[in-house]
């Protein structure tokens, strides 16, 4: 079968999810494949009840859900159904693969990617895995042995994977962030703030915001007295409680509070400095747009990989870092001191830009198509 013939009938299965950090890259890869092969059929496989089951259809792709879940360390009795769910997921995914007939399988990490790629590998379907973090997740480490290609975003990943399979691609990011045409002045005004003043953006993710929120609440006087303004995304989960606290303590006029920012492109453009968790997708975004950042790694993630992500930047003087436990006391004072230090902002921006790996989704899509069209030995 000729390469053109397969390209026109290209069928790709993409699996994984659980968090935005897995889903954004997966959708970016799918979009890049479709841009190169408009006739390609792409099927996603996710975990029932996880956010990919909404996000993927919203992006225009079909998704099948598996009844897979992770090991529950907090409530051990809940793991009693785990072997059955794994067995059922295994059977379902074999049927999905047989019926869909993919030429290549892509895994981005998360619960569903293990049964999907393990089943694909057994059927001699070439597999590509994309590891977003500087410390490989358990799923991807197990899949690395049978994968044909492993796309990574950090140096030194041969600690986890066979060196000859590794391709340094970087992490695909949300395209809208890179394509925003708004000026900084327009962006600042869109939040009802003053373009003449330095602006700090605080984002903690949906559930990872608690420590960052606490850091603001403990330093409202510092916020009030500073000549800096703040855009504070609290997360929906905490917004009512924070609104109540601010009504008691008094909200400083230079503090813009919102539970969710839909246009992150405008928020990043408005910010002179960002305070963020250290998820791999967020870090890739900061590198590509050259944004000075203070990272507060979440301690509630597997193998503390957010700290390892953060240190990859900190060691190259491309970001500042505050430990989660120290943040309530020291994060806001450090942020105010940093945002008013022009030379520090300039060097952080220059150094983080050097770590950017552009066109990640395109490079990965080329690999996906290559694997699908290579002659099987």
* Residues 285-305: tens digit of each pLDDT: 999 999 999 999 988 777 788
Task: Please count the residues of the chain.
Answer: 377
CA 338 to CA 358: how far, in whole Å? 27
What was the pLDDT predicted at 4? 45
Average pLDDT over residues 340-350: 97
Closest CA to 112 of 14, 44, 16: 16
| pLDDT, tens only, 150-195 | 999 998 999 999 999 999 999 998 777 777 889 999 999 999 999 9
For β-strands 199-203 and 166-168, DSSP reports them as: unpaired
User: Any residues with CB less than 8 A from the CB of 145 and at least 6 apart, and which?
Assistant: 162
Cα–Cα distances in angstroms (integers) from residue 247 to residues 64, 207, 253, 255, in the given order: 45, 23, 13, 13
CA 254 to CA 188: how far, in whole Å? 12
CA 157 to CA 135: how far, in whole Å? 8
Report whether 64 contacts 121 (CB < 8 A): no
CA 99 to CA 93: how far, in whole Å? 10
Closest CA to 311 of 301, 320, 300: 320
Task: Quote the percentage of the chain above a pLDDT of 90.
Answer: 71
| Per-residue tokens: 66 | 């598996």
CA 280 to CA 202: how far, in whole Å? 17
| Burial class of residue 370 (count of CB atoms within 10 Å of its CB; 0-12, 13-18, 19+) | middle
Residue 73 pLDDT exceeds 80: no
CA 171 to CA 158: how far, in whole Å? 17
Residue 6 pLDDT exceeds 60: no
Report whether 134 contacts 312 (CB < 8 A): yes
Residue 100 pLDDT exceeds 50: yes
Residue 7 pLDDT exceeds 60: no
Q: What is the DSSP string of 308-346?
A: HHHHHHHTTTS-EE--GGGHHHHHHHHHHHHHT-HHHHH
Average pLDDT over residues 231-250: 89
What was the pLDDT predicted at 72? 66
Residue 1 pLDDT exceeds 50: no
């Amino acid at each position: 079968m000729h390469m053109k013939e397969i390209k026109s009938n290209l069928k790709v299965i993409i699996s994984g999810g659980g968090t935005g950090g897995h889903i954004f890259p997966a959708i970016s890869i799918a979009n890049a494949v479709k841009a190169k092969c408009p006739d390609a059929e792409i099927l996603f496989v996710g975990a029932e009840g996880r956010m990919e089951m909404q996000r993927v259809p919203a992006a225009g792709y079909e998704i099948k859900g598996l009844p897979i879940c992770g090991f529950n360390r907090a409530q051990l009795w809940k793991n009693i159904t785990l072997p059955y769910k794994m067995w059922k997921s295994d059977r379902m995914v074999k049927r999905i693969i047989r019926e869909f007939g993919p030429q290549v399988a892509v895994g981005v990490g998360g619960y569903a990617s293990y049964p999907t790629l393990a089943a694909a590998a057994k059927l001699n379907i070439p597999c590509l895995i994309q590891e977003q973090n500087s410390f490989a997740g358990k799923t991807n480490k197990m899949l690395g042995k049978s994968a044909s290609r492993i796309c990574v975003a950090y140096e030194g990943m041969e600690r986890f994977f066979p060196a000859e399979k590794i391709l340094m691609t970087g992490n695909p990011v949300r395209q809208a962030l890179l394509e925003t045409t708004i000026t900084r002045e327009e962006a600042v005004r869109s939040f009802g703030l003053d373009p003449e003043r330095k602006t700090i953006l605080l984002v903690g993710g949906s559930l990872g915001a608690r420590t960052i929120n606490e850091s603001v609440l403990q330093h409202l006087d510092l916020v009030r007295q500073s000549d800096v303004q703040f855009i504070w995304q609290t997360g929906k989960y905490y917004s009512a409680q924070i609104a109540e606290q601010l009504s008691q303590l008094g909200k400083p006029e230079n503090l813009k509070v919102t539970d969710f920012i839909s246009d992150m492109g405008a928020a990043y453009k408005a910010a002179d400095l960002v305070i963020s968790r250290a998820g791999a997708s967020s870090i890739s975004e900061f590198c590509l747009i050259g944004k000075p950042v203070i990272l507060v790694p979440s301690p509630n993630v597997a193998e503390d990989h957010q700290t390892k992500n953060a240190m990859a930047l900190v060691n190259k003087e491309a970001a500042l870092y505050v430990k989660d436990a120290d943040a309530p006391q020291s994060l806001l004072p450090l942020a105010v001191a940093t945002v008013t230090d022009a030379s520090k902002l300039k060097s952080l921006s220059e150094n983080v830009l050097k770590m950017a790996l552009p066109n990640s989704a395109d490079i990965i899509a080329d690999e996906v198509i290559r694997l699908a069209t290579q002659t099987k030995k």
